[in-house]
Amino acid sequence: MNKMINNALFAPVTDLKGVGTKTAADLGSLGIYSIYDLLFYFPFRYDELQTLPLDQIMDGQKVMLKGIVATEPFVSRFGYKKTRLSFKMRIDHDVIMVNFFNQPWLKNKIEIGQEVAIYGKYNVARESLSAFKFVAAKENDSGMAPIYPVNRHVKQKKLVNLINLAIDNFLDQVQDIVPLQIREKYRLLKDQEIIQKMHRPKNGQEAEIAKRSAIFREFFIFELQLTLLASHDGKQEGYPKKYDLKEIANLTNSLPFELSNDQKRVVNEIFADMHSPGQMRRLLQGDVGSGKTVVAVYAIFAAITAGYQAALMVPTEILATQHFKKIDELLRPLGVRVALLTGNTKTLERREIYRELTDGTINVVIGTHALIQKNVIFKKLGLVIIDEQHRFGVGQRQALINKGDRPDILAMTATPIPRTLALTVYGDMTVSEIHHLPAGRKPIISAWKTSSQMKEVYHLMHEQLDQGFQIYAVTPLITESETLDLKNAEELHKKLSHDFPDQKVVLLHGQMPGPKKDEIMTAFANGEINILVTTSVIEVGVDVANANMMVIYNADRFGLSQLHQLRGRIGRGITQSYCVFVADPKTDSGKARMKIIAATNDGFKLAEEDLKMRGEGDLFGKAQSGLPEFRVGDVVNNYNTLVVAQKVARSLVKKDPELSDPEHKALKQVLEYKQLEQNRI
């Protein structure tokens, strides 16, 4: 893919010396594919390596010591494959012993008389330093060690080495993408300085300054993508859809319920957009269970009666399958061909779908990222719907939209965010909102229980199970470690199987293959499973009316919005539902969160609270707040920067819509690269 852009910077990481396909695959799991990606993979924090005079160091304290190598480093072996590299280091008038364990290769890096800085744990009695980190003094004596987000495939140390390698060999090829005039106006660093100072800051202040520029740069790219998306797609021009109200009346007549007033209003707003010559760009916000899917079905059917095809893209396999079933059930009787396309669609079937999308036999396709693959070619795509749209990158959305000729666009989200913020992170979209749940729903009864109150919780569970209802038991997603998630869920599964021996207790988790997940979900939907233990795979969209109780374990480790989303899986039938949040929060904000979630069912209000708490640096609120995620920036805390970036991006695109000015060449390349990268599946 990188061949398309003629620039060494965008070459795959395997172009680095010593990086093979295994390392490349490991880096891919962090979203790092190219040298460019490595250079801009910034630390999320720094360990400040403290330096102290020898006589002020306490026993066992971690410090950085600077001195001069006084003896030839010597490697001794002990135990099985263990080594110790030792040498004496002179610090003013004192001499201490330095020991590195299992890093024998450092021997070649250390010479007598060399000035070095070494980070480690100090033993006062032995006057020795058990060293972790070697820093040649000239290179960097800042004492700021960058810490990067890593996973089980890539270790911190390895990543640091690779990034250093990339900096040493490629930094001089990095060109600025923020135009000079803007950089001067907002006092921003050049791209090379950003890289240098983010990865190797001299001190905390330098890191802060670099971060400010890095945030702007990240937002600037994002807002440019958004702006280009809006203007490339036909400068707001689209095609009026002459839908057939008579046929649409058939849909209305076939529904088992009447639309709520909010739904009716929103359908009318959408129809007005579709009917007008302008391209629809509408964002539909509505709580979980508020009935957005039916609204989408109206839009889809309208587009089809006007002679167009429609596509609905959703973030997960489970959700795609569920949407497909629901929509197929509603539209097939009206003569509509509905197809499902995901990563798990079998080759033969997939080819058939490709063909029938191209010849127009299929009217609407529902799927995951599989929809943006290049083999997917529509005959006449007139409507693109993106569910849970914050889960998709701008490039991914664009890729789907580009499959039509200025199609109407409807984005949907169950995690509402304030309007002003929506405009800055989603671009020019008109917002529609569904505030009230369909009539006849009983509000879910929620409670916060501590783990010492499990007896009460079990009592309620037994009561529900005895009446033939089903239960979700959910454990948190701890984003740092998939394996840990799984362990939590497996343990809970074991425990509940033991505690409820008469019930069928089944585990469903995100690492299962798609067909297996579907099989379990189907069994659950058919009432063959009593208690379903899950991680947050079931976060969005799953709909089983007979499941009217949910127990969320370690609930304080979820963000409010996600708790609310999870809770939305129940309360879908006509019977009374219960949601129990089990948590023993230690912090005040944790306790406050549990109280709020137990007390309110209003998603708009919870989203607001979630945003407020994010401001306080709530770790687990982040991934689930309905906002796109950035590497360095934070749309809430750095909102003002985001607004400036949007303004700058818009005026730039206005002046130079094709980015053909030579001054914008580097910028254009980065955007092209981003586009390729985001379409990676």
Residues contributing to the site for Mg ion (CB under 5 A): 292-293, 541
> Is position 291 an interface residue for ligand ADP (rule: CB under 6 A)?
yes
Name the one range near ligand ADP by CB under 6 A: 73-81, 116-124, 252-260, 370-378.
Answer: 252-260
Question: Where does residue 620 rank: exposed (0-12), middle (13-18), buried (19+ CB within 10 A)?
Answer: buried
Nearer to ligand ADP, 559 or 590 (CB): 559
Tell me how far apart the alpha carbons of residues 635 and 658 are, in angstroms, rounded to a whole number: 27
CB of 579 to Mg ion, least distance (A): 18
What count of other Cβ atoms lies within 10 Å of the Cβ of residue 295? 26
CB of 294 to Mg ion, least distance (A): 10
Tell me how far apart the alpha carbons of residues 407 and 279 are, in angstroms, rounded to a whole number: 7
**Binding at 288: pick from ligand ADP, Mg ion, none (beta carbon under 5-8 Å per type):** ligand ADP
Site for ligand ADP in 523-582 (CB under 6 A): 543, 572
Nearer to ligand ADP, 67 or 571 (CB): 571
> Is position 64 an interface residue for ligand ADP (rule: CB under 6 A)?
no
Residue 135 main-chain phi, psi, to 5 deg? -130, 115
How many residues touch ligand ADP (CB under 6 A)?
16
Name the one range near ligand ADP by CB under 6 A: 187-195, 285-293, 370-378, 451-459.
Answer: 285-293
Name the one range near ligand ADP by CB under 6 A: 220-228, 284-292, 475-483, 616-624.
Answer: 284-292
Q: Is the dihedral of CA 442, 447, 451, 457 positive or negative?
A: negative
CB of 441 to ligand ADP, least distance (A): 8
What count of other Cβ atoms lies within 10 Å of the Cβ of residue 655? 10
> Is position 634 an interface residue for ligand ADP (rule: CB under 6 A)?
no
CB of 322 to ligand ADP, least distance (A): 8
> Is position 290 an interface residue for ligand ADP (rule: CB under 6 A)?
yes
Task: State CA 202 to chain mean position distance.
Answer: 31
Residue (of 616, 552, 610, 614) closest to 579 by Cα position: 552
Q: Is 440 left (phi over 0), alpha (psi -120 to 50) or beta?
A: left
Nearer to Mg ion, 292 or 593 (CB): 292
Question: Where does residue 576 rank: exposed (0-12), middle (13-18), buried (19+ CB within 10 A)?
Answer: middle
What count of other Cβ atoms lies within 10 Å of the Cβ of residue 326? 18
**What does the DSSP 8-state code read for residue 188?**
-
CB of 399 to Mg ion, least distance (A): 22
CB of 592 to Mg ion, least distance (A): 29
> Is position 410 an interface residue for ligand ADP (rule: CB under 6 A)?
no
> Is position 289 an interface residue for ligand ADP (rule: CB under 6 A)?
yes
Tell me how far apart the alpha carbons of residues 300 and 233 are, in angstroms, rounded to a whole number: 20
CB of 412 to ligand ADP, least distance (A): 7
CB of 164 to ligand ADP, least distance (A): 47
Name the one range near ligand ADP by CB under 6 A: 71-79, 95-103, 259-267, 415-423.
Answer: 259-267
Name the one range near ligand ADP by CB under 6 A: 25-33, 83-91, 135-143, 254-262.
Answer: 254-262
Site for ligand ADP in 411-430 (CB under 6 A): 414
CB of 385 to Mg ion, least distance (A): 10
Tell me how far apart the alpha carbons of residues 659 and 668 are, in angstroms, rounded to a whole number: 6
What count of other Cβ atoms lies within 10 Å of the Cβ of residue 187? 9
> Is position 334 an interface residue for ligand ADP (rule: CB under 6 A)?
no
Q: For 504-611, where are the E strands, in sequence order?
A: 505-508, 531-534, 547-552, 578-582
Residue (of 270, 309, 331) closest to 400 by Cα position: 309
Interface with ligand ADP by CB under 6 A: which residues? 257, 259-260, 263, 286, 288-294, 414, 438, 543, 572
